[in-house]
Amino acid sequence: MPDCIFCQIIEGKLPCAKVYEDDLVISFLDINPVNTGHTLVVPKSHYVSLFDTPPDLLQACIEVSQKVARAVFKGTGASGLNIIQNNFRSAGQLIDHIHFHLVPRNMHDGFFTSWPGKPYPSGELEKTLKKIKAEL
């Protein structure tokens, strides 16, 4: 995909701080990290989101994420790590080439520790469950 920054990195047209690469997947440091060592895992084929990426490629991404996450965790001396994968603008996706964020975490690092969860109003859980299951 010519306009895609990650495709340009994969093709070697743009530089990156490469952490890992194999036939299917590349991993490099995020240029604007939440925390030092924030790393991206990116399939080498251009797919936009979780929804259009073939399952075998997702599997490869998760396997690389586990391998690289172990290295990020140990290499940065972090005490925690989040894997985050954003789909579409409303969920914070800025680059339309699927990728996984590996974010090393430490206590009081200023990122999130909890999100504003709230209980369902009466009857909503059952209705929502029915709608989701109907799509499976």
Is residue 21 a contact residue for ligand AMP (CB under 6 A)? no
Residue 97 Cβ, how far from Zn ion at the closest point, in Å?
A: 3
Contact of 7 with 78, CB cutoff 8 Å: no
Is residue 31 a contact residue for ligand AMP (CB under 6 A)? yes
CA angle 57-111-67, nearest 5°?
30
**Which of ligand AMP, Zn ion, none is residue 1 near (CB under 5 to 8 Å by kind)?**
Zn ion
Binding mask 40-79 for ligand AMP (x = CB under 6 A): x---------------------------------------
B/e letters for 42-67, b = 16+ CB within 10 Å, e = fewer, are: bbbebbbeeeebeeebbebbbebbeb
132, 55, 88, 8: CA torsion to nearest 10 = 180
> Which one is catalytic: 38, 97, 99, 101?
99
**Is 99 a residue of the active site?**
yes
Is residue 3 a contact residue for ligand AMP (CB under 6 A)? no
Stretch that binds ligand AMP, among 19-27, 70-78, 86-94, 102-110 (CB under 6 A): 86-94
Helix (H) or strand (E) holding 131: helix 124-134
Strands 25-29, 18-21: pairing kind? antiparallel
Residues of this chain that interact with Zn ion (CB under 5 A) are 1, 4, 6-7, 46, 97
**Which of ligand AMP, Zn ion, none is residue 83 near (CB under 5 to 8 Å by kind)?**
none
The phi-psi region of residue 114 (left if phi > 0; otherwise alpha if psi is between -120 and 50; otherwise beta) is beta
Contacting residues toward ligand AMP, per CB under 6 A: 5, 14, 16, 28, 30-32, 40, 86, 92-95
